Amino acid sequence: MMTNQKQIEANQKNAQQSTGPKTEEGKATVARNALKHGLLSSIVLMQGEDQVFLQELLLGLHAALNPVGELEIMLVDQIIADAWRLRRAVRFEHEALSSELARLKRLQFLNADVLGKLEEPTLGAVIAQGALENTMRYETHIRRNLFRTLHELQRLQAVRAGQTVQAPIAVDVGVETSGEDT
């Protein structure tokens, strides 16, 4: 269905009355509206995280990885960002698991006649809630990116040191299934 001219004019009139944020503080707050866990955020340090610890991580990894030149520094900075996000993912995973276990225990307490005497909720029941599964998927993505970047840095440093380095191996994996059980 196409929008008619009357609807377009009404939309434009309503847009003029927008009450979006006017102050810098308000704009910064609105910019974080969609943020739930920060695992895919372009912002490395989230509100409430330890800036001193991040700085120590930065200094420690720069010293350990010893980048030379802008490209190597960029790769080390990416490794630091991914290491920090991985730390956040582990913390988020722990919080999601703890929260879900507490919820299941409360549910058990409130509905003991229905649920029976469940000693400890199973991890499978917790994972079924979805939050933990998503967090683990993000964690896997971050970990893979971290090690891919680390390997590229090591490859560049080996080339700089005069070593012969093979090009990275690209693997194409295809999965085929037939409708039959094997």
Q: Which has more pLDDT, 39 or 109?
A: 109
Report yes or no on whether pTM surpasses 0.75: no
Q: Which has more pLDDT, 18 or 166?
A: 166
Q: Which has more pLDDT, 3 or 79?
A: 79
Give the model's pLDDT for residue 22. 72
Mean pLDDT across 87-99 = 77
Structure tokens at 138: 């993000």
Give the model's pLDDT for residue 105. 72
Give the model's pLDDT for residue 37. 46
Q: Which has more pLDDT, 123 or 164?
A: 164
C-alpha distances in angstroms, 17 versus 8, 10, 53, 71, 116?
15, 11, 45, 47, 56
pLDDT tens for each residue of 112-148: 554 455 455 555 555 555 666 777 788 888 899 999 9
Centre a 10 Å sphere on the Cβ of residue 50 and count the other Cβ atoms it contains.
11
Give the model's pLDDT for residue 114. 47
Give the model's pLDDT for residue 54. 84
Q: Give the total residue count for the chain.
A: 182
Q: Residue 50 above 80 pLDDT?
A: no
Structure tokens at 135: 């967090």
